Amino acid sequence: MEQMVFEVGVALVLVAIASVIAGKLKFSIIPFLILVGMLVGPHAPTIGIIDLTFVESAEIISFLGQIGVLFLLFYLGLEFSVNKLVQSGPSIIFGGTVYVVLNFVFGLAYGFVMGLPLYETLIIAGMLSVSSTAIVAKVLVDLRRTGNPETELILGMILFDDIFLAVFLSVMSGLLLGGATSAGGTVLSVLMSIGYMLVFFVIARKGTPVLNKLLNITSDEIFIIVVFAALFFVAGFSETLYVAQAIGALLFGLALSETEQSKRIERLVTPFRDFFGALFFFSFGLTIDPLSLGGAVWMALGAVALTILANVVAGMIAGRKAGYSHKASSNIGLTIMARGEFTIIVANLGISAGLASIIKPFSALYVLILAILGPLCAKESKRIYRVLNKVFKWSEKQEKGKRTEQ
C-alpha cells in the first residue's frame, strides 16, 4: 500500500511538472500530459526507489482518470442549456448530421481503400466519427471560449455526436460481441439508450421546479455530497442500460443546467474537474506503448488528414448554415477536431471482438496525433483562418456582397 501511495505521488508530481511547463509556454496542458504519460508507463526504467512504470498503481491511476472524464463531462453538461438547444435545435441537428455523416463516410471509404474487412472498416469509420468531448470541453475552458457565439453550436454538435456514439456502440456491440443475438434484441437495446437520453431532456425541460426544491441545501458540504452522490449513481446506472458512464454524467449535468443552483455547482465542481481531468489525460498516455506504433504510422497519418478535411468542411457548412461568419465557422471545425477517450472506446470494442491487430496501434497513434493537433488547431484558429481566407477570399466576397446590397 505504501508503495502504491508513493507511485501515485510520483505520478502527481509528473502531472504537476507537465502542467507548469504547459503554463509557462501558454499552451493547453492536454498534449503535455499525454506525452508524459506515454514516456513513462510500463516500459519506462526504474530509477532507484522511483518506479516510473506505475505497475502497482496502474489500476488506481486509471480509476482516477475515469473520475476525471465524469467531472469533465458533468461540467460540460452544466454549461449546456436545454432551452437554448431547443431554440437552436434545427441548426444543431443539421450541423451534427453533417459532421457525423461526413466523417463516417470518409472513414468507410478509407477502410475499404486500405483493404480492411467489413467489421474492421465499420470500427475505423466509428473511430473517425467521434470527437473527444473531454478534450473539446477542456479546450473551450482553457481558451476561455465558453461565451463565444459559436460555442453553443459546437456543444450541440458534440452532444449530437455523443448520441450517435451511443447508438453506434449499441449496434456494433450487438453485431460483434453477440450481446444481442437477434435483430430485435439489437433494436431494443438501441431504443432503450435513446429513451434514457430523452428522459434527461424531459427532466431538464419540465423537472426544474422539483430539482430546485431538492437542491435547496444551505450547507456547501452537504450540497456537494448530495450532488456527487447523484452524479456517480447516474453515471454507474447508465452502463446497465448500455449507455457510457461519461454520457450519463453529461446528461446529468444537462438535467441540472436549468436549475437555480447550476452556477453554485459549477463553482464547487471546478477544482475536481481540473485535478481529475489532468489525471485522465496522464492515465491515457500511460496506456500507449511507443514501441508498438511503428507499423501503423502511415495509416494513422492518412486518417488524420481525412479527419482534418472532414472537420473543417463540416464546421464551415454547419456554421454558415446557422448564420455565423466564416471566421466563427472555421472555429467550429478546428475546435471539434480532437479525438480521445471515445475513439479508444470504439477501438477497444473491435479489439475485444478479435478484429485485425492493426486497430490497437492505429487507434493509439491516431488519437495521440489528434489529441495534440486538435487543441493546437483550436488555439491557432485565428492564424489558420487568415491562411484559409487568403485562399478562398471570404472577406472580399463579403465586401462585394455588401456593396451589391448598397
The pLDDT of residue 164 = 81
> Are 19 and 11 within 8 A, CB to CB?
no
400 assigned to some structural domain: no
pTM over 0.85: no
The pLDDT of residue 113 = 94
Exposed, middle or buried by CB within 10 Å (0-12, 13-18, 19+), for 144?
A: exposed
402 assigned to some structural domain: no
- 246 to each of 72, 77, 237, how far by Cα in Å? 9, 11, 11
- Within a 10 A sphere around the Cβ of 305, how many other Cβ atoms? 11
Name the residue among 323, 329, 337 with its Cα closest to residue 369: 337
Collect the ranges in the chain with pLDDT lower than 50.
403-406
Range of the domain at 131: 65-280+294-391
Question: CA-to-CA distance for 90 and 113, rounded, in angstroms?
Answer: 34
Q: What angle do CA 293, 295, 297 make, to 5 degrees?
A: 70
**What are phi and psi for residue 27, nearest 5 degrees?**
-130, 155
Amino acid, res. 353 = A
Cross-strand pairs, 50: 47
State pLDDT tens for residues 265-323.
999 998 998 899 889 888 878 877 777 777 888 999 999 999 999 999 999 999 888 88
50 assigned to some structural domain: no
20 assigned to some structural domain: no
Q: What is the DSSP string of 266-280?
A: HHHHHHHHHHHHHHH
CATH assignment of the domain containing 314: 1.20.1530.20
29 assigned to some structural domain: no
Place of cell 449499441: 170
- Count the domains in the chain: 1
247 assigned to some structural domain: yes
267 assigned to some structural domain: yes
333 assigned to some structural domain: yes
Element (H, E) at 51: strand 50-51
